[in-house]
């Protein structure tokens, strides 16, 4: 009986030993396939990420081109308005009105400014008529300050720069 058990154990052992390399081969083959699938998935993710980055770059490029186009259109529109305003139409009264707007507005603002300063001087003189008298120096300090100097400089600079630019645009 022992010999039968040993024969059976030998048969099972021989079969297992024969099947063991096959099972190891199948298991290794399965691992290789799983690894290949994982590598393919990683490669696919890498390709997707690269394509997404390229798409984002393309979208940014398109947005930049679109923004540049809008800017060019706006610049052309502004330049055409400046050119249209600076060219005479041939209608004398319309051209005269167009050319007089800025100087008339400047003169009106200057008149309002002078009137305001005269009112300030009058009020200073009225207030000083009491116990103390207003001196020229105190009136100048009230009427002319840093803000007045800045306004005066801005107006003069504007008109002198304008005359230079007008002369330059008339050159051939």
Interval 111-142: pLDDT, tens = 998 899 889 888 877 877 655 566 777 777 77
Mean per-residue pLDDT for 151-162?
83
- Tokens matching residue 47: 């390709």
pTM for the model stands at 0.42
How many Å apart are CA 23 and CA 15, to the nearest integer? 12
Measured between alpha carbons, how far is 23 from 29 in angstroms, rounded to an integer?
10
SS3 state of residue 25: helix
Task: Determine the longest span between alpha carbons in the chain, in angstroms.
Answer: 146
CA distance 57 to 63: 10
Spatial separation of the C-alpha atoms in residues 63 and 75, rounded to whole Å = 18
């Amino acid at each position: 009986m022992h010999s039968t058990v040993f024969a059976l154990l030998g048969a099972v052992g021989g079969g297992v030993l024969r099947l063991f390399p096959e099972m190891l081969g199948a298991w290794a083959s399965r691992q290789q396939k799983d690894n290949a699938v994982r590598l393919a998935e990683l490669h696919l993710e890498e390709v997707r990420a690269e394509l997404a980055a390229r798409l984002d770059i393309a979208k940014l490029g398109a947005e930049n081109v679109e923004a540049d186009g809008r800017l060019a259109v706006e610049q052309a529109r502004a330049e055409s308005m400046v050119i249209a305003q600076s060219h005479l139409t041939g209608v004398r009264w319309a051209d005269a009105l167009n050319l007089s707007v800025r100087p008339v507005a400047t003169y009106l603002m200057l008149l309002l400014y002078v009137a305001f300063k005269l009112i300030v001087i009058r009020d200073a003189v009225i207030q000083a008529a009491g116990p103390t008298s207003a001196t020229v120096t105190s009136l100048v300090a009230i009427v002319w300050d840093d803000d007045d100097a800045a306004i005066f400089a801005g107006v003069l600079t504007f008109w002198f720069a304008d005359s230079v630019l007008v002369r330059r645009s008339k050159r051939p």
